Every structure is written in structure tokens, then in C-alpha cells.
Amino acid sequence: MTGPPLLAPDADRIDADWMTSALRQSGALREGRVVSLTKTPVGAGLVGDSFRFDLTYQAEEPGAPSSVVGKFPAKDPVSRKSGSDHILYLREVSFYREMAKRVDIRTPKTLVAEIDPETDDFTLIFEDLGPARQGDQLAGCSPEDASTAICEAAALHAPLWGVESLANLDWLAIRPATLQPMVLGVLPAIIGLFQDRYQGVLEPEFMALVQRLPELQAKIGQDHSAPRTVQHADFRLDNILFDVQGGTAPMATLDWQTVALGVGACDIAYFLSAGLSPEDRRAHEKDLVGLYHRELVKRGVKDYGLEEAWRDYRRYTVHGILMGVFSALSVERTERGDALFLKMTRGACEQARDLDTLAFWL
């Protein structure tokens, strides 16, 4: 069914008539009508606001969803500006429109995916994946949950491994690449602000590593020795649901605002540094990288050996440091945010130190 545009950049604009039209256009509703809805904030997104909409219908229709989840631009102006400046909103909407069906990782079925490229107003409406177990970045996860996440990462990376045409996608490769000089240009100032905020909280040896980010990122940006694929680039527990829809699937991954063309092992290094305790990471990372490699091979990836996967895992610990530092200064400051970004930065710095990452780049 076709109908009027469904761009509603604010959850407060969603009413029963709008939801009826959206569900009918998506095919999720045939003849029924939503007569009322309630919304509840969900998730821990930093650059977008998400809500669960519980729906009441005029008459029961088999298969009509009892609830859906919507995502909208952040109301906080700092977070909203970051989403626009780094084309996060365009990337996420484009992923759900153009790429979600090309990869095997579990994502929510998309009912509405609309964006205004001039204003970056956007609307995403998804199937509700609950009941599910929300990943918690601050609490961390078990090695068993990490194994589940590693297998799902391979399901993302393998289908488009080495596909050269990905480099021609404006929203995935071209426009994000144009941001790199800007990121490098502002990184020293970002690091200065990060140091002012967390001096005396983050360990001195880790702050010294943070200060080397500009030269590390410059070297990484010039390196093309590893195969490229679609990477999530913010693959961490806050963006993951386990045991979705009451256990019908082991995991689903959300928040595709940072999706990019890059090295698959970068997602693995980032997830393990942020999701496992340093002790668990040290004890299990070789086995988990081995699991990742086996899953890639099982899914058809060729000419990429286990030694290469381990090398790339060791090299790309830097991504976790960058994400912790840059994110801390890009969104609204909160108590949870401070704890989260410090944990991410500290975990990635420990990982880089353990694995002698700097020896690869400097």
C-alpha cells in the first residue's frame, strides 16, 4: 500500500492515525485501525531517542503487532548536532533501507525508514524484539554472551567481505571518508577537553596513550592491507539484545548509525575490550578470535588466515580508544555517560597495552 510520507521527526507527533497509516503501508496491518497508543522510552542510545509504542486496535486482526519501537533524532541539541555532523542519521536509515537484507546478522524488521537529507529529520519504526535481555555496557557480559556476539559479527562481515562496489556507496564509504580529515583536525582539541574532564580519573599511562591518538589515526587512515567489509563500528553491549522475542533468536544488533566500510576485526577488538572484564578478555580473546575466523570461513570467506585475523584484532584496539574519547565530547554529558566512556577508554587502552598495538603503527 502507498500513502503519504511518513516522516515524523518527533515521537510526540506519532498518533493513532499516523501509526495506522504506517502499519498499512508496511504491510503489517491489512484493514485494522489503531485507536490509541502509549509510548515508553527504551534503550540507552546516545545520539537518538527510542520509544516502545503499545498499540490498541479498533478490532482484533491476526498478525497485527501489539507494539512497535520507534527511533527519532535526539532532542538534546549537542547529541543532535553530533548525529548530523557525522552523518549518523543518514547512515542508519540507509543501512535499513539498502543493506540489512544483504547481510545475515539479525536486525529488527523495519516498517518505516524515512529521512529528510536537508534537515536530517528521520523516522524509524521497527518490529518489537521483546521480550529480550538488554546488553549492559557497564555491567559487561560473560564469555558465553561474547561468543554469541562474535558469531553474529561474522554473520555481518562475511556476506559482503571484499565486495569492491561497497566503496561506491556514498553513505557508507564516500561521505564518511570525507569526514576523516575533519576528525583528525579536531582530535587534538577533543583530547585536550577529554584530558581536562578526566585528568586524575583515568590512569596516567592510559591518558598518555589517548594523547597519541592523532598520530595513530593518521597511520591507520593510510593503511589498506586488510580486507574491507561492512562493519558496525559501535558493536557493543548497549546496542545488543540477547534472547530476542522470548528466545526465538539468540541476539539482535541495533543502532546502525556508525555503519562503515572497514576492517571486520575492528568490531571484534572493540566489542571484547568494552564488553569483557580485562581478566576475561585476556583469558578468552585468542579462542574468541579463533571462533570469529572459523565462522568467517564457514560463511565463505577465503584467503584470510587465522594469523591475519589475530594480527588485525591486535592492530585495531585503537578504535575503542577513539570511540571512548570522541563520544565523551560529542553527546550530552551524564553520570552514566562518564562511567561508560571511561570504561570503554580504559578497557581499550589495557587491550592495546597487552597486545603491543603501538608496535604495528609507530
Q: What's the pLDDT tens digit per position in 271-298?
A: 999 999 999 999 999 999 999 999 999 9
Same domain, 169 and 227: yes
Residue 2 maps to a domain: no
Same domain, 196 and 296: yes
Q: Determine the structural domain holding residue 33 and report its residue range.
A: 11-127
Residue 309 DSSP label: H
Instruction: Give the CATH number, domain containing residue 59.
Output: 3.30.200.20
Average pLDDT, the chain: 95
Same domain, 122 and 140: no
Confidence (pTM): 0.94
Number of domains in the chain: 2
Same domain, 256 and 108: no
Backbone φ, ψ for residue 193 (5° rounding): -65, -40
Same domain, 201 and 260: yes
The pLDDT score that the predictor gives to residue 295 is: 98
The pLDDT score that the predictor gives to residue 79 is: 87
Same domain, 170 and 298: yes
Show the DSSP H helices in the chain as ranges. 16-26, 77-85, 88-94, 143-157, 175-198, 204-210, 213-221, 244-247, 264-275, 278-298, 306-315, 318-328, 335-354, 358-361
Residues 216-254 have pLDDT tens digits of: 999 999 999 999 999 999 999 999 999 999 999 999 999
The pLDDT score that the predictor gives to residue 82 is: 87
Instruction: Give the CATH number, domain containing residue 143.
Output: 3.90.1200
Same domain, 103 and 230: no
To which residue does cell 555496557 refer?
Answer: 137
**Which helix or strand (DSSP H or E) is residue 4 part of?**
none
Low-confidence stretches of the chain (pLDDT < 50) are: 1-4
What length is written for the chain?
A: 362
Residue 142 maps to a domain: yes
User: Are 318 and 336 a contacting pair, CB within 8 Å?
Assistant: no
Same domain, 266 and 326: yes
Same domain, 99 and 173: no
